[in-house]
Amino acid sequence: MLFHHYNHKNFFNTSKILTIVQNYSTPIWIYSEKCILKKISKLKKFDIIRFAQKSCSNINILKIMRASGVKIDAVSLGEIKRALFAGYQPQSQNIIFTADLFDNETLSNIINLKIPVNAGSTDMLNQLGILSPGHPIWLRINPKFGHGHNKKTNTGGENSKHGIWDTSIALHVIKKYNLKLLGLHIHIGSGVDYKHLKKVCHSMVKEVMKIKKDIFSISAGGGLSIPYQIGEKKIDTNHYFNIWNTARNKIAKHLGHKITLEIEPGRYLVAESGILVTQIRVIKKMGNNIFVLVDAGFNDLMRPVMYGSYHNVSIITIDHREIDFNNTIEVIIGGPLCESGDIFTQSENGNIQKRVIPTVKIGDYLIFHDTGAYGASMSSNYNTRPLIPEILLDKNESIQLIRKKQPIEDLLKLEQT
C-alpha cells in the first residue's frame, strides 16, 4: 500500500503538533473542535442530532456537542453521568439510554432521573415497567437483517444480540405497564450503501404500520461511515437525509401528525477530528521484515487489533529533515505491549500487513489519523499502562489539555483494599 502524505488540511498543522508533544510528550490524542463543528453542520437537516458518546466520551467533547444543540445517546450509567457532568439536563430527552439490558444500579438511576430508555429487549421493558410504570421508552427494532463493516460491528439480523425481534411481545409489555412509547429506532449503519439504507427505511415504515400505535419520533441510528482509506467514498449527507425524510413523511402521513427525525452518529461526528501522535522508539529487522515500534499500543488504539481497521499514518521528523517520498520502506508498525498481536497494520483476520512509509529515524513522530472515534474511548489499562492525555485544539486554535495522563498510582490505589 502506498504511503500517503496525509494532508492535515486546516485542522492540524505540524508546528501545533510539535508544540503539543514538546509540552505533553507522546503518545497523545489530539482533537480539533473546528473539525467536529464542521461535521455537526453537515447533519443540520435532521431535527435532532444525538451523539453516540461511546465513540468519544470525554466530557469536554460532550460540552462541544451540547453547545451546538446536539443531544446524547448513553449506553451505560457512566455515560449518563458524563452527560450530566457536561451539563445535559435529564429532561426533554436530552439523554436517552440505549441498551439490551439493565444492571440494577443503572436501572434505579434511570428511574430516579426519568431518563427515557431505548429498549433492545422485552426483558428490559418488564424490569422497567414493574418498578416505573408509565416510563418513557423507545423500541430498538432488529429489522432482521444487518450490514456493519465487520462481523463484530454488525448490528442486525439473527446473529446480532441487538434490538427487539418481535415487537408484538414488546407491545404487550408496554400495555401491561402503561409505558409511554415515544419512538422507534433502528441502528444498522448503511454507510454509503444507499440501496441498503432504503431497505432499512422500508423496514421502519413497515414496523410503524404493523404496531398500530402512535409514536412521535423515529431514529435513523448511527453507522455513518467516514473514508478511512484514500479513495473511499464520503457520505452524501443530503442524500442520506432525503432517504430518511421520505420514510418520515410516509410515517407522518400514516399517523396524521408530525414526526421528529433523529440521527445518532458517533464515528461521523468525531473520527476525523482526532489523531494519535506516537514516537518511533525502535526500528528492527526480523529476517525480511522491518518492524517500526512506536510508544502507543493496542491498549491505546484498539481498532486495528479488534477489527483489522486501517488508519492512515503520517510522519513528522524529529530533526526537521525533509521527508523523502522517493526513499520508502515497507514496514510493520507495532507497539510496546508484551503481546505479539500488538500490531497496528493487520487485516481483519489478524494477518500482518505491511505499510509503505518514507525512511524514518528513531525519534520521529508517527501519527495515526482518524482516531477520534473509538480511539481514547476504547483504551484500556492492559500491561498496567496508564490512559494517555487528550488535547483539544479549540475553535480559536488554542491548546487545551482535556484529560490528564492517568497516574499509575491511581491504578494501584484501587487495589489497596
Among 156, 183, 221, 334, the residue binding ligand PLP under the rule CB under 6 A is 221
Establish if 224 lies at the interface with ligand PLP (CB under 6 A).
yes
Among 34, 39, 54, 147, the residue binding ligand PLP under the rule CB under 6 A is 54
Among 129, 143, 189, 336, the residue binding ligand PLP under the rule CB under 6 A is 189
Q: Of how many residues is the chain composed? A: 417
Of the chain, the end-to-end C-alpha distance in Å amounts to 51
Minimum distance between the CB of residue 153 and ligand PLP, rounded to whole angstroms?
Answer: 7
Establish if 116 lies at the interface with ligand PLP (CB under 6 A).
no
Contact 316, 364 (CB under 8 A): yes
DSSP state of 323: P
Establish if 39 lies at the interface with ligand PLP (CB under 6 A).
no
**265 annotated as belonging to a binding site for a ligand:** yes
Establish if 163 lies at the interface with ligand PLP (CB under 6 A).
no
Q: Is 231 left (phi over 0), alpha (psi -120 to 50) or beta?
A: left
Is 35 part of the annotated catalytic residue set? no
Binding segment toward ligand PLP, per CB under 6 A, in 52-60, 172-180, 326-334, 352-360:
52-60
Give Dmax over CA atoms of the chain in angstroms.
Answer: 71
DSSP 134-183: T-EEEEEB--S----SSTTT--SSTT---SBS-HHHHHHHHHHTT-EEEE
Minimum distance between the CB of residue 187 and ligand PLP, rounded to whole angstroms?
Answer: 4
**264 annotated as belonging to a binding site for a ligand:** yes
Minimum distance between the CB of residue 178 and ligand PLP, rounded to whole angstroms?
Answer: 25
Minimum distance between the CB of residue 304 and ligand PLP, rounded to whole angstroms?
Answer: 17
| Nearest to 53, CA basis, from 29, 83, 90, 84 | 83
SS3 270: helix
Contact 379, 302 (CB under 8 A): yes
* Active site residues per annotation: 338
Residues making up the binding site for substrate? 267, 303, 307, 339, 374
Residues making up the binding site for pyridoxal 5'-phosphate? 223, 264-267, 374
Binding site for ligand PLP (CB under 6 A): 52, 54-55, 73, 98, 187, 189, 221-224, 264-268, 373
